[in-house]
Amino acid sequence: MVMLALAVSACSSDAYDTGDGSLSYMRADFVKAFADHDGKFTAAITDDDLSLTLQPAIAAGWSAPDTVCRALLYYDAARLPESAVEATVRPVAIGRVIMPKVIDRQAVAAGLPTDPVVMETAWRSKNHKYINLGLQLKTGTTDGNVAAQAIGWVYTGSTTLDGGAQRHSFMLAHSQNGVPQYYSTPLYVSLALDELPVKLGDGDEIEVSVNTYKGVVSRTFQP
């Protein structure tokens, strides 16, 4: 699972500036972001399959050199043609989107941590490559120390539907890890549909389940 220290804003960048009227054209997109050898993001592909070159490159405290990351990119779209399939844009800020690798439930010896979260939204990306969750996690500090929570995806099994298609079920695992629940912080989590431990067939469904403070909530999507 991915460990998270949630004491900072979910979206930050040294490149962020204020007082610029061009920010009225700012656009936010979920992207696949590409970092160079310095760990700066130089390119991205949006969930609408729009290929972006980022000029200047944008840094983030959570990035690593020569990596590909899931992210939420804010950028100046003032000169972006409406029908563009590729463009060069000025990035404003970039935030991390958590995309843990899926673990098979049968490979987990201990019980799954399913501490509750606040689930605000769930949707499938326009390019059918991701299922995304918008969450709020409760967090806080003790004696000035920041403890890390953990988030992961667990494949819990498949069932056969009428007609022979399969419903593949995934649970969001979450460990509060003793972190105080003083306030909420936003978090986005993605499930990559091309990295699942099962092969998707025609008519198959993806079910994602999240334990919330009001009980388990499940959503079903067509891949």
User: What local confidence, expressed as pLDDT, does residue 177 receive?
Assistant: 86
Taking alpha carbons only, the member of 31, 20, 19 closest to residue 58 is 31
Band (pLDDT 50/70/90 cuts) for residue 8 is very low
pLDDT digits (tens, 9 = 90+) for 100-157: 999 998 877 677 899 999 999 999 999 999 999 999 999 887 665 556 889 999 999 9
Coil, strand or helix at 195: helix
R_g over Cα of the chain: 19
Beta bridge partners of 171: 154, 209
User: What local confidence, expressed as pLDDT, does residue 172 receive?
Assistant: 96
User: What local confidence, expressed as pLDDT, does residue 121 receive?
Assistant: 97
User: What local confidence, expressed as pLDDT, does residue 3 receive?
Assistant: 58
For residue 90, give both structure tokens: 């000025």
Residue 57: pLDDT above 90? yes
Cβ–Cβ < 8 Å for 102, 64: no
pLDDT digits (tens, 9 = 90+) for 184-218: 999 999 999 999 999 999 999 999 999 999 999 99
Fold of 102-221: Immunoglobulin-like (2.60.40)
Where do you find CATH 2.60.40.2370 in the chain?
102-221
Mean pLDDT of the residues in the chain: 88
Residue 46: pLDDT above 60? yes
Supply the DSSP symbol for 65. Answer: T
* Pairing label, strands 26-35, 102-104: unpaired
User: What local confidence, expressed as pLDDT, does residue 153 receive?
Assistant: 95
Q: Tell me the pTM.
A: 0.85
